[in-house]
């Protein structure tokens, strides 16, 4: 198999889906796949066997969700537009608005098309530190309607409400945020049919407090007689994929440096954007094992560095390295900066057989540019 390639592991997805199915069974909630994190649609039939539909951020994700997954298609966008609206109505069944002005413009049209309509609320309750760009409750956030901005006329038209405030968090943060939501918007919650608690729930991570999640979700749905939705992305495919790559060269400039055929900037941009250090099979922290290397990509960007890792034996040109947890926020974010070839996409079936689903070529680079 030619490197670099993503290897999606079906058995790991099934493991996650079984945990999510159990949460559904115990709470009566519905769970949607947030396609922003993962859109490898050839696995949608598998996921659709467990979950209730998809969450989309706009026209293309809604179309993919409706056509490849089926079931329910929910869409939230910070701003809809006239050019895309009619086509969007072909795919979406639940339409969520970001502001009362967007609702005034599009909600009557959505209702006339027989859609469920909702408003994204901002409970103004930050529960995350560090990753400011992932906090929709931060200062001057453009996401969600605050209590001060919600008028009674808009509130009266809603079938449901939505919030999304978490990122890789445990259920204690959800519990705190749900309390804030009830305190600020309790009168609205009493009137709606559904409450969507967004994503960012790290449900399938080892040690996640599922009991507290079940209590929080069930409590909310019992108090208001509403259908609760969760729309995790990460949790569906957590630890369910690898990026397999090869060592192309080894140099030394004050420390050992290995050049890989996989790029942080192009193939795992969250490593730079978030930033974070991806797990690598058989490696340790710098100096934890005997031989430490800085691992970098093949682009001309000086900062195309994945991180510093140590190994029990020296790396050699041609060695294969496997980064873990590479199903989420990777394939949806890759780019061809610097003319880099995109990693192939492979699927490891539960029986261990591996299928190459997609290989990329020059046209995937040039075709986007003219």
Ligand X SMILES: *Cc1c(COP(=O)(O)O)cnc(C)c1O
Which residues form the interface with ligand X (CB under 6 A)?
34, 36-37, 55, 76, 164, 167, 198-200, 231-235
Shorter beta-carbon distance to ligand X: residue 165 or 283: 165
For the stretch 202-206, contacts whose Cβ atoms lie closer than 8 Å and that sit 24 or more positions apart, written own/partner, are 202/168, 202/169, 202/170, 202/234, 202/235, 202/238, 203/19, 203/20, 203/23, 203/230, 203/232, 203/235, 204/15, 204/16, 204/19, 204/20, 204/235, 204/236, 204/238, 204/239, 205/168, 205/235, 205/238
Closest CA to 103 of 225, 188, 199: 188
Q: Are 1 and 346 in contact (CB under 8 A)?
A: yes
Shorter beta-carbon distance to ligand X: residue 131 or 190: 131
Distances (CA, A) of 107 to 93, 153, 311, 319: 13, 12, 57, 56
Shortest Å distance, C-beta 168 to ligand X: 6
Q: Are 73 and 91 in contact (CB under 8 A)?
A: yes
Shortest Å distance, C-beta 342 to ligand X: 21
First to last CA, the chain: 31
Q: Specify which residues 252 forms β-bridges with.
A: 256
Shorter beta-carbon distance to ligand X: residue 272 or 274: 274
Shortest Å distance, C-beta 76 to ligand X: 5
Shortest Å distance, C-beta 232 to ligand X: 4
Q: Which two tokens stand for residue 341?
A: 């070839």
Shorter beta-carbon distance to ligand X: residue 199 or 297: 199
Closest CA to 122 of 79, 167, 168, 161: 161
Question: Can you tell me the distance from the alpha carbon of 24 to that of 51, in angstroms, rounded to the nearest whole number?
Answer: 9
Shortest Å distance, C-beta 203 to ligand X: 9
Shortest Å distance, C-beta 231 to ligand X: 4
Residue 121 backbone dihedrals phi, psi, to 5 degrees: -100, 150
Shortest Å distance, C-beta 242 to ligand X: 19
Shorter beta-carbon distance to ligand X: residue 201 or 256: 201
Q: Are 256 and 292 in contact (CB under 8 A)?
A: yes
Shorter beta-carbon distance to ligand X: residue 259 or 274: 274
Shorter beta-carbon distance to ligand X: residue 228 or 295: 228
């Amino acid at each position: 198999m030619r490197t670099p390639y993503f290897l999606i592991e079906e058995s790991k997805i099934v493991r996650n889906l079984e945990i999510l199915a159990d949460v559904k069974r115990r709470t009566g909630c519905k769970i949607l796949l947030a396609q922003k994190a993962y859109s490898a649609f050839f696995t949608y039939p598998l996921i659709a066997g467990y979950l209730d539909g998809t969450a989309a951020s706009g026209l293309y994700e809604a179309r993919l969700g409706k056509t490849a997954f089926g079931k329910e298609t929910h869409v939230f966008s910070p701003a809809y537009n006239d050019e895309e609206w009619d086509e969007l109505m072909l795919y979406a069944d639940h339409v969520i608005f970001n502001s009362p002005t967007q609702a005034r413009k599009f909600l009557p049209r959505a209702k006339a098309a027989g859609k469920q309509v909702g408003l994204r609320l901002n409970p103004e309750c930050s529960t995350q530190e560090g990753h400011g760009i992932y906090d929709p409750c931060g200062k001057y956030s453009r996401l969600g309607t605050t209590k001060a901005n919600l008028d009674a006329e808009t509130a009266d038209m809603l079938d449901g409400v939505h919030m999304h405030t978490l990122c890789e968090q445990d259920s204690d943060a959800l519990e705190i945020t749900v309390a804030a939501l009830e305190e600020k918007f309790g009168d609205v919650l009493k009137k709606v049919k559904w409450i969507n608690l967004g994503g960012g729930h790290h449900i399938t991570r080892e040690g996640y407090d599922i009991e507290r999640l079940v209590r929080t979700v069930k409590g909310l749905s019992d108090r208001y007689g509403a259908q609760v939705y969760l729309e995790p992305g990460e949790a569906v495919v957590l630890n369910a994929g690898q990026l397999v790559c090869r060592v192309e060269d080894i140099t030394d400039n004050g420390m050992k440096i290995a050049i890989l055929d996989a790029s942080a900037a192009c193939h795992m941009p969250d490593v730079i954007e978030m930033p974070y250090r991806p797990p690598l099979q058989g490696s340790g922290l710098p100096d934890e094992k005997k031989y430490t290397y800085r691992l970098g990509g093949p682009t001309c960007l000086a900062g195309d560095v994945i991180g510093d890792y140590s190994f029990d034996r020296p790396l050699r040109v041609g060695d294969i390295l496997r980064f873990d947890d590479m199903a989420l926020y990777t394939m949806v974010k890759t780019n061809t900066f610097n003319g880099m070839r995109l990693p192939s996409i492979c699927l490891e079936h539960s029986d261990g057989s591996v299928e190459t689903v997609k290989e990329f070529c020059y046209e995937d680079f040039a075709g986007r540019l003219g």
